[in-house]
Every structure is written in C-alpha cells, then in structure tokens.
C-alpha cells in the first residue's frame, strides 16, 4: 500500500463523499453498502425474492433458481457524481449453479488542494469488487455461498480486502418462500494503519404470492457492527402480460440519510420492468434520498 503525501488534506473530503454515495453508511465500503439492480431496489425487500444472476449481490442461494445461462447488466446514477456499474453471470450445471460478478463504484473527479487551500489538481476515488458464487438445490432447502475480493482506491492510496456471503432459501408453500443471508463476512479494511469494519449484515425475508400476478415481500436486516436494525417492504404487480410495476418502503435505519431524520417520502422506492419472450428483461427504479438527491437504476437481464 502506497502513501499519498496529501492524504491529510483529502481524507475529510473522501469520508464525506463515501458516506453520501453509500447513503450515509457507517461501514468501511461504500460499494458493499450500495444495492445492485433495478428490480431488487424497486421492490425494496429481496432476500427471499432473489432468483436470478443478480442474486450474487443479495442472497447467493437465489442462484439455485436459474434454469438457463443468465446475464445481468446494471447501471446506477447515484448521488452527486457517483456511478455504479455491475455485471453478473449465472451458469447452471448438474453439480449446482455457479455465478461470477463484477462491480465498480466511481465518484468522478475530486478537487485537491494544498495546505494553503489552493487547487493543485484533481484525484479520483473508486471501489472494485469481484465475486464468485455457488448454489445448490437440496430439495426444499436451497443453499449458496460466495467469495468477494474488494479493492478501494483513493488518489494513489489503495487497500484490498475480502469477504464471504452465505445464503439459504426455502419454498415452504407453493406461494411462500423464506430466505436468509449473512453478507460481508470478513476482516476490516485497513487504510494507513486505520481499520474500518465491513458492513456485516444479517437479513431474513419472506416472499408471498397470493395471486399469480402479485408478489409481496418483507425483509428484516441487522447491521452487526453498527448495531442497527431495519426492515423493508415490497410489492410487485404484473399489470399486463410482461409489464411489472413495483414499489418498496424502507425503515429509517435502511433508507438513505439514515444518520438523521428521513422523511417518509424518501423511504419509498418505485420501479417498473418488462419481460420479452421470457428471455430479455428490462428494469428501472427510482430511489429518492431527501436533500442529497435521488438514485436511478437501469438493468438488463438476458437468458440464453
């Protein structure tokens, strides 16, 4: 790890920047705290719903539901100049389901100043994630696990870390599914001798389809190191053949701006999706975040 001589000047800027991009999170990784995928975000509660290649980022057991090769491409316009790009691929075999994914969170160009407060150039801050996962159908119970390699870069200073996810999913009734995930199990990130814990999160959820065109979901989440708990509620309706409308609600502890009061409107999520010929899926979601702006996500999924 290389040390940046201007780190004492740029660190306050970075701390604020990462906090905003991860919805004011308290963890050591904005990327691990930033949700991936328009459909999951639009629903708001995805632990038990997860059933596609993007399950790698939510509950690795969800990979066990894929029946064909599946590609998921995701783009997010976050707060300020921050952007999130991710890619996930799921592959079924007779030995189980395998998945790989990549994710990149960039914060654009950031102004750097010297000790006199004069501008002396720009620098960038970003995070990269590589993830590999495996899931297996054991009958009523489906289990999955994934391994993550994380790299953070701020100007010329970098840090590496790793983590693992564990997940389970079970269809206890034809219309009712339960899910559990333990996310970001791993050692703290180290920056210039300082440590920052990863956002270790325990999540339990349920998904219920009272009608074939209606899906209701709920998640309960606990952030272990921060000792914070929250919940999410979700709704997905197939309004017309292949056209889906979605809405979600997050508790104050889960919504952006969680360090302060979060207006009820900023805890809402909304989205829509199209399914074409059971092969191509297009999804969009909108997430307000009070005074810091709003996030928009676009996703494309392809089965082949």
Reply yes or no on whether the pLDDT at 20 is more than 70: no
Q: What is the pLDDT of residue 15?
A: 42
Whole-number Å distance between alpha carbons of 248 and 35: 14
Whole-number Å distance between alpha carbons of 275 and 286: 19
Each as own residue / partner, the long-range contacts of residues 168-171 (CB below 8 Å, 24 or more positions apart, any chain) are 168/59, 168/61, 168/141, 168/142, 168/143, 168/144, 169/48, 169/50, 169/59, 169/61, 169/62, 169/64, 169/65, 169/141, 169/142, 169/143, 169/144, 170/140, 170/141, 170/142, 171/140
Question: What would the two tokens of residue 244 be?
Answer: 């889906």
| Mean model confidence pLDDT for the chain | 86
Confidence grade of residue 264 (pLDDT, cut at 50, 70, 90): low
Q: Which fold is adopted by the domain 7-303? A: Porin (2.40.160)
Residue 195 class from Cβ within 10 Å (0-12 exposed, 13-18 middle, 19+ buried)?
exposed
Whole-number Å distance between alpha carbons of 16 and 259: 13
Pairing of strands 201-211, 96-113: unpaired
Backbone angles phi, psi at 40, to 5 degrees: -60, -40
Whole-number Å distance between alpha carbons of 56 and 89: 9
Reply yes or no on whether the pLDDT at 200 is more than 70: yes
Tens-digit pLDDT profile for residues 70-91: 999 999 999 878 899 999 999 9
Residue 136 class from Cβ within 10 Å (0-12 exposed, 13-18 middle, 19+ buried)?
middle
Tens-digit pLDDT profile for residues 43-56: 999 999 999 999 99
In sequence order, the 6+-apart residues with CB closer than 8 A to the CB of 290 are 256, 257, 262, 263, 266
Whole-number Å distance between alpha carbons of 28 and 290: 23
Q: Among 224, 217, 230, 220, which Cα is nearest to 267's?
A: 230
**Residue with token string 């997940």:** 167
Reply yes or no on whether the pLDDT at 23 is more than 50: no
**Residue with token string 């316009």:** 77
Confidence grade of residue 117 (pLDDT, cut at 50, 70, 90): low
SS3 277: coil
Tens-digit pLDDT profile for residues 203-256: 999 999 999 999 999 999 999 999 999 999 999 999 999 999 999 999 876 655
Q: What is the pLDDT of residue 193?
A: 77
What are the start-end ranges of the H helices in the chain? Answer: 7-21, 38-43
């Amino acid at each position: 790890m290389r040390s940046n001589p201007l780190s004492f000047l740029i660190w306050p800027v970075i701390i604020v920047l990462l906090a905003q991009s991860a919805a004011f999170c308290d963890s050591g990784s904005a990327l691990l705290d930033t949700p991936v995928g328009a459909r999951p975000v639009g629903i708001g509660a995805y632990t038990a719903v997860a059933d596609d290649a993007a399950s790698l980022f939510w509950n690795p057991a969800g990979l066990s539901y894929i029946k064909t090769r599946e590609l998921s491409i995701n783009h997010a316009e976050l707060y300020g100049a921050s952007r999130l790009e991710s890619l996930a691929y799921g592959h079924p075999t007779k030995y189980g389901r395998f998945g790989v994914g990549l994710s990149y969170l960039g914060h654009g160009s950031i102004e750097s100043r010297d000790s006199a407060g004069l501008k002396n150039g720009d620098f960038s801050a970003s995070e990269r994630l590589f993830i590999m996962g495996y899931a297996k159908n054991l009958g009523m119970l489906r289990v999955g696990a994934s391994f993550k390699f994380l790299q953070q870069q701020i100007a010329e200073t970098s840090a590496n870390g790793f983590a693992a996810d564990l997940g389970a999913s079970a269809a206890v009734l034809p219309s009712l599914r339960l899910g559990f995930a333990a996310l970001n199990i791993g050692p703290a990130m180290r920056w210039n001798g300082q440590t920052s814990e990863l956002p270790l999160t325990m999540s339990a959820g349920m998904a219920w389809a009272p009608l074939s065109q209606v899906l209701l979901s709920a998640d309960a989440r606990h952030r272990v190191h921060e000792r914070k708990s929250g919940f999410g509620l979700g709704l997905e309706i197939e309004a017309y053949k292949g056209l889906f409308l979605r809405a979600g609600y997050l508790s104050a502890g889960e919504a952006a701006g969680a360090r302060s009061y979060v207006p009820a409107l900023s805890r809402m999520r909304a989205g829509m999706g199209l399914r074409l010929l059971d092969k191509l899926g297009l999804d969009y979601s909108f997430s307000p975040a009070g005074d810091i702006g709003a996030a928009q996500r676009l996703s494309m999924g392809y089965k082949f």
